[in-house]
Copies of this chain bind each other. A is one copy, B any other.
Amino acid sequence: MRIAIDAMGGDHAPEEIIKGVLEANTLLDKDDELILIGIKECIESQLSVMGANADAVSIVDAPEIIGMDEPPVEALRAKRKSSIAIMAKMASKKQVDAVISAGNTGACVAGCQLRMRNLEGVNRPGIAVVLPTFGGPVTMCDVGANVACKPLNLYQYAVMASLYSQNVLGIENPRVGIMSIGAEESKGNMLVKNTHELIKADKHLNFIGNLEGRDIFDGICDVVVCEGFVGNVTLKITEGLVSMMFKAIKHELMQASLELAMEFKPIMTQIYKNYDYHEYGGAPLLGVDGTALICHGASKARTIKNAIMAAKKYHTEKINDHIVEFLSTTSARTNGD
């Protein structure tokens, strides 16, 4: 398969991106092709610094760069020769089977949504992230592609995230919940109530009902669906809170004794390792006709390598075919609501 990687996207581009690509290259099959998209000279000099074999990867020149903080849609319009714009265009023309970027998230999502068609039956694509929890990986969808969801969208996120959880993460019959403000059916907003009906009616989904935020970490579900606004807030809260807690623990440890702080360090490292979302590579944009993975801006080589392997699995396991097939059997598949 042909996997395109945005060489210019992310806080550690291009070094870490290219490093990750070279690492993945050794793990892929002979007929897999990795294509780096970005400023040609920049990529070439980086590859040469790393002593890489010249024909290890292909390069597609993209002379423009979209900055991490640029307004997505405007930047995409203005910079048609940026790595993100070219990557999305190649995906839409089926010149590549998968695209991966750690660049400006908004621009990646917008680029893929604008260029790539939706899968047959899909109303709106959604971004899924895998949260590592004490009870195993939980796939949450959507985390920011769609901030004005209809029940149909959440239902389709449940379908797509279930198929992802099952076929990529290997979780049999994934338990699906709706993020709400209480487990009771009577609680929540109108979106939750209407979505509840829709998901409940589909006996092919392993629906466990509404969930509270704290349930996510308790190992009672494998998939949780929510509106993009709520999912994005959840994701950022999680990130901010974990960082604050580690800061607080470090602060207290340093106050107590340097020795204790040193002793605690391997514990911290182990926890980071156990609950490391980099393990899952990137967040798939579910529902587009192709494979698109969006990586965290802070991604290093390992994340990029893992994202490439996840893209390979996504493609090999034919997740998109499963989605189309599943939706073809339901009535919640049209482009209206």
**Chain A interface residues (CB < 8 Å from chain B):** 71, 106, 133-134, 144, 147-148, 179, 181-182, 184, 186-190, 212-218, 226, 228-230, 232-245, 247-249, 252-253, 256, 260, 263-264, 266-267, 270-271, 274-275
Contact = CB atoms under 8 A, between A and B. Distances in A.
A229 B184 contact: no
Contact of A264 (B189, B243, B264): B264
Contacts of A247: 134
Contacts of A237: 213-214, 216, 234, 237-238, 241
Given A148-B190, A184-B71, A229-B188, A243 B267 contact: no
Contact of A240 (B71, B187, B217, B233): B217
A229 B231 CA distance: 12
Contacts of A263: 260, 263
Contacts of A228: 181
8 contacts: A147-B189, A181-B228, A215-B240, A230-B233, A249-B267, A256-B266, A263-B263, A264-B264
B214 A239 contact: yes
Given A188-B147, A248-B271, A241 B217 contact: yes
A244 B229 contact: no
A124 to B, nearest CB: 14
A133 B245 CA distance: 9
Contacts of A244: 133-134, 217-218
A228 B247 CA distance: 29
Contact of A236 (B212, B232, B266): B212
A134 to B, nearest CB: 5
Nearest to A191: B229
Nearest to A237: B213
A181 B236 contact: yes
| Listed residue (A181, A230, A270) with the most chain B CB atoms within 10 angstroms of its CB | A181
Nearest to A275: B248
A189 B237 CA distance: 18
Nearest to A235: B213
A257 to B, nearest CB: 9
Contact of A232 (B181, B243, B274): B181
| Listed residue (A106, A179, A186, A244) with the most chain B CB atoms within 10 angstroms of its CB | A244
A217 B179 CA distance: 22
A240 to B, nearest CB: 3
Contact of A233 (B233, B236, B243): B233
Nearest to A179: B233
Nearest to A74: B186
Nearest to A212: B236
Nearest to A270: B252
A279 to B, nearest CB: 15
Given A252-B267, A267-B253, A238 B241 contact: yes
Contact of A214 (B144, B236, B267, B270): B236
